Structure 1
Amino acid sequence: MGGYSNIQTCLSQSGGSSGGGSSASGGCFLRYSVTPFFSDNDITNIMPYLQKGSSSKKTAIIAGGVGAVSLLLLTIALLLWYRSSQKRRTANRGDILGVTKLQGPTIYRYKDLKSATKNFSEECKIGEGGFGDVYKGIISNGNIVAVKKHAVRTSKEMADFESEVRLIANVHHRNIIRLLGCSGKGPVQILVYEYMENGSLDTFLYGNKRGTLSWKQRIDIILGIARGLAYLHEQFHVCIIHRDVKSSNILLDDDFQPKIADFGLARLLPTDPSHLTTRFAGTLGYTAPEYAINGHLSEKVDTYGFGVVVLEVLSGQNCNKMKNELLTQSLLEYAWKSYNNGTHEDLIDETIDSSEYNVENAKKMIEIALKCTQSPVSLRPTMSEVVVMLVNDASPEPKQTN
């Protein structure tokens, strides 16, 4: 505003020979004139400046400029390459903090895993089974992992190991155990998984931690297992059949969220699975009859195993070793009998306070479990349908036909 006020005093000169004026105030500069400030097409000719030096000097200046820019670009490229190579070397050493889920499994060094598990000592062992022993290990970056050791003796065992790596490497779901990496030395093959502090579900149902799960925790566990299986069957890019769904293959994290584990028997379902027949592999008591007897494999085999696990979660009983006077009956037979007699509440784990659950809700959970174990296969729901039944109020009506 000051510059504008000052320039008012110049306006009387507009008719004079100068025909212009200017003013400056507080960082503001104003100028006016009746003639153009610059000539039309006013172009500065730089040739006189260039002609002052020799052609060799001009060439040297240009070459020097290009060389400096090229050197800068090369330096940046080398720096980026170095950082990238360092990241790859870190990942190959087994640092899971530097590996994202999309990069696939890390290759661990055998000697590092041997050290992490104190030479695979008994004090570090946290599980064992037909597909290998599992150890708790602390790797160099301080992370706790579960190390599954396979002693591969035959080509079939190697095929099972490779199947587990291939199938689980790209599966990422909150209710499925995550494979971190693998390692191998001669006949010993190793898988490294995320560590689950609370161990397997069976220890909380009929093991040394029996009676510590609340009703709500049990329902959340059932729903989590169902969601994990629905992902494997219908949401992953191929249908994966676990083939060994049982309580000991369900692990619990710090918040008691379930994670489906042990994919040693898992198989891909072909695009045309009609009457797919394969050699039986699994655990009796959890295995669907059409698969155990005739080898007919479909995703409904997992649905059957899920139904049996649900009955175990509700009752706190082992499907093959019931702790009551009816030792001649399996858990599934006892559940059907209780349901048909209208005494389904007798199936609920006695360690659960009756005030924790609603009787009708308990009946619904039992009905869903029984529906999953029906035969023929067509009567069983898909796992996505099971998820819908679990979260909705609708109560299915199972039918015992076998």
Structure 2
Amino acid sequence: MEDWVSLPQGPLPAVLSWGMNHTKCHSGSSVACRSSHTYCWKLGDVKEDAHLCMCDDGHQGNPYIPNGCKDINECDDPKTYPCYGSCKNSEGGFQCERLPGFKGNASVPNGCQDIDECADPHHYSCYGLCTNVPGTFHCRCKHGTYGDPFTKGGCSSLSVYAAVLKIGLGVGGGISCMLLALVAPLITRKIKMHKVKKEKERFFKQNHGLLLQQLVSQNSDIGGRMIITLQDLEKATNKFDPSHEIGGGGHGVVYKGLLDLQAVAIKKSKIIVQREIDDFINEVAILSQINHRNIVKLIGCCLEAKVPLLVYEFISNGTLADHLHVEGTVSLSWDDRLRIAVEISKALAYLHSAASTHVLHRDIKSSSILLDDNLMAKVSDFGASRHIPIDRTGVTTAVQGTIGYLDPMYYYTSRLTEKSDIFSFVVVLIELLTRKKPYIYWSDDGEGLVTHFASLLAQGTLIDIIDPQIIEEEGEAVDEVATLAAKCTKLNGEDRPTMREVEMALENLRGTKRQVHHNTNSKWKYEKGHCVPFGRLHLEASRQYIMEEEILLSAWYPR
């Protein structure tokens, strides 16, 4: 890199410019431009080989370092990138589309005009009274008729029934009243049933029913078991009576019901917005392709209501958070906690590498882990999950998750990888060790749970934060689990192990055998009202793994 000074004639000030000259800019490419999505620009008049590196359109940042040019999310900056319709961000640009029921240019103010469907009966059939409204239109039968105004001849006159009524009145008041009592309910019922049918069809399309139909066509097993009617779910929950409500989360309210003599959990969205509907359909698409003993089983779904409803197997024992954060000093035993950690890791390892399509959960936390009657862990709440192509390690997406469990690198870069799930899982692991709530915990020094945990581990004073119940139980392998947690919370995701490696390490620790001697080899010793560390646990690896797994484990976890 050199500087040149151009000295024009006369009293004008000097102009200083700079450029790269140790490499050449050829066909828009230069070795100096190290980031992807960059190009080089020749300075021309300054020096023959001088050039600068620039980020591609739709990107910003430092083109001289790897991954320095980042995609601009134009949808988050409507002032610079105006869009007056539906904005969808893409790599290097964005798409601005018209909202349904509108026409025109969505990129300029007032560029989209409402489509007058009533003025175009060829495309928007209405054989009754048509009323245009922004984004859609209303069609109803003319006064004095009833039926389906969207079908030719669908609206019928009431004159026939009026004539019958007049004859009945002529014959006698009693007969006329009888006919009225018989005919009127039939007509009302027919109208009501027809209206309900049309409404269900509209909701089915609105709730992405075409996606479900695609799943059905690809997998006949899904088609045979997943389609559940709204009538069946209302019967199972007594029309969603509040007494059947058993909980909820960020993606909906959960009801308990009885469907075909089977106890089920039914999730219903709280808010009727498109994002919630998209999250529900995303959960259907993911769970319909997953079968694992530690992942909650999706029984079916219903798309006939205003919001889609998902039906799961009923897990009776609440969430892991319910069991950890209870009043009193006694919670789950250390053996149960370690087993639950192994079961969660198995489920996540399956999602990351063994499932037919790779899935990142994106919202692992203790409240999304369900426990059955035997305290077996079941991972749930897949509304925020994402599919990842097998040939890719991650995706750039809007940040979504729960504060306290969220991977800081994902938060700052928006780059979602399997290492983000690993960070969230290890926060749950630390929660199992300490019984502290990650989303509200602050140390006296102002550190969060993960940072404080790592500091105490480095200082050799981890006992200050370990759950006293574990110490009283003389829990085995606590030091090793804590060391594993520290490895998995490294700031750089590349330095963290894979979920499969974490699963193998935890399984190995759980299978470790050791002799406990209270006077010499006990890991913790009770002395004068408090617990102090007494010696260090030596891990004896169990021989339950095949040789390939043993080698893989030993490559990053010291024995």
TM exceeding 0.5: yes
Residue in 1 that maps onto 2:251: 131
Does the Cα contact within 8 Å between 2:230 and 2:305 map onto a contact in 1?
no
User: Residues 119 and 250 of structure 1: is their aligned pair in 2 closer, same or farther, counting only changes over 3 Å?
Assistant: same
Residue in 1 that maps onto 2:297: 178
Superposed displacement of residue 143, structure 1: 1.3
**Counterpart Cα distance in 1 of 2:269 and 2:282:** 13
Matches within 5 A, 1:65-104: 103-104=221-222
**Counterpart Cα distance in 1 of 2:341 and 2:472:** 19
Superposed displacement of residue 351, structure 1: 3.3
| Secondary structure at 2:269 match in 1 | strand
Residue in 2 that maps onto 1:336: 454
| Secondary structure at 1:310 match in 2 | helix
Q: Considering only aligned residues, what root-mean-square deviation do their CA atoms show, in Å?
A: 2.3
Does the Cα contact within 8 Å between 2:265 and 2:313 map onto a contact in 1?
yes
| Secondary structure at 1:390 match in 2 | helix
Does the Cα contact within 8 Å between 2:334 and 2:473 map onto a contact in 1?
no
Residue in 2 that maps onto 1:391: 507
Please list the CA deviations of residues 314-333 of structure 1 after superposition, one character each: whole Å capped at 9, or x if unmatched: 111101223x8638321112
**Counterpart Cα distance in 2 of 1:356 and 1:103:** 48
Does the Cα contact within 8 Å between 1:152 and 1:187 map onto a contact in 2?
no
Does the Cα contact within 8 Å between 1:163 and 1:264 map onto a contact in 2?
yes
Answering whether residue 422 of structure 2 is matched by residue 306 of structure 1, we say no
Specify which of 320, 339, 357 is matched with residue 201 of structure 1.
320
Please list the CA deviations of residues 56-115 of structure 1 after superposition, one character each: whole Å capped at 9, or x if unmatched: xxxxxxxxxxxxxxxxxxxxxxxxxxxxxxxxxxxxxxxxxxxxx982342112122122
Matches within 5 A, 1:92-171: 103-104=221-222, 105-139=225-259, 141-151=260-270, 153-171=272-290
Answering whether residue 481 of structure 2 is matched by residue 365 of structure 1, we say yes
Residue in 1 that maps onto 2:127: none
Does the Cα contact within 8 Å between 2:240 and 2:255 map onto a contact in 1?
yes
- The alignment of Structure 1 onto Structure 2 pairs a total of residues equal to 294
Answering whether residue 284 of structure 2 is matched by residue 284 of structure 1, we say no
Q: Which moved more, 1:385-394 or 1:330-339?
A: 385-394
Superposed displacement of residue 348, structure 1: 1.9
Residue in 2 that maps onto 1:380: 496
Superposed displacement of residue 138, structure 1: 1.5
| Secondary structure at 2:309 match in 1 | strand
Which structure: greater strand fraction? Answer: 2
User: Residues 356 and 121 of structure 1: is their aligned pair in 2 closer, same or farther, counting only changes over 3 Å?
Assistant: farther
**Counterpart Cα distance in 1 of 2:407 and 2:384:** 15
Matches within 5 A, 1:9-48: none
Query: One-letter code of the match for 1:233?
Result: H
Residue in 1 that maps onto 2:334: 215
Does the Cα contact within 8 Å between 1:110 and 1:183 map onto a contact in 2?
yes
Residue in 2 that maps onto 1:76: none
Query: One-letter code of the match for 1:335?
Result: F
User: Residues 381 and 325 of structure 1: is their aligned pair in 2 closer, same or farther, counting only changes over 3 Å?
Assistant: closer
**Counterpart Cα distance in 2 of 1:145 and 1:389:** 35
Query: One-letter code of the match for 1:369?
Result: A
Runs ≥4 residues deviating over 6 A: 394-398
**Counterpart Cα distance in 2 of 1:260 and 1:102:** 25
Superposed displacement of residue 311, structure 1: 0.3
Residue in 2 that maps onto 1:260: 379
Amino-acid identity (%): 37
Does the Cα contact within 8 Å between 2:282 and 2:383 map onto a contact in 1?
yes
Does the Cα contact within 8 Å between 2:427 and 2:450 map onto a contact in 1?
yes
**Counterpart Cα distance in 2 of 1:143 and 1:210:** 36
Which structure: greater helix fraction? Answer: 1
**Counterpart Cα distance in 2 of 1:200 and 1:185:** 29
The structure having more radius of gyration, on CA atoms, is 1
Q: Which moved more, 1:102-111 or 1:184-193?
A: 102-111
Superposed displacement of residue 157, structure 1: 2.5
**Counterpart Cα distance in 1 of 2:338 and 2:220:** 31
**Counterpart Cα distance in 1 of 2:284 and 2:473:** 45
**Counterpart Cα distance in 1 of 2:388 and 2:371:** 27
| Secondary structure at 2:395 match in 1 | coil
Specify which of 350, 354, 379 is matched with residue 235 of structure 1.
354
**Counterpart Cα distance in 1 of 2:393 and 2:475:** 41
- What stretches of structure 1 of length at least 5 have no aligned partner? 1-100
**Counterpart Cα distance in 2 of 1:259 and 1:209:** 25
User: Residues 213 and 274 of structure 1: is their aligned pair in 2 closer, same or farther, counting only changes over 3 Å?
Assistant: closer
Answering whether residue 465 of structure 2 is matched by residue 347 of structure 1, we say yes
Please list the CA deviations of residues 150-205 of structure 1 after superposition, one character each: whole Å capped at 9, or x if unmatched: 25633333221111001001211111000011112242211010111111000111
Does the Cα contact within 8 Å between 1:152 and 1:158 map onto a contact in 2?
no
| Secondary structure at 1:367 match in 2 | helix
With normalisation by structure 1, the TM-score equals 0.69
**Counterpart Cα distance in 2 of 1:340 and 1:368:** 13
**Counterpart Cα distance in 2 of 1:363 and 1:352:** 12
**Counterpart Cα distance in 2 of 1:339 and 1:356:** 18
Please list the CA deviations of residues 219-274 of structure 1 after superposition, one character each: whole Å capped at 9, or x if unmatched: 00000000000000011122100000000000001111101000000101123435
Structure number with greater CO (CA < 8 Å, separation at least 6) is 1
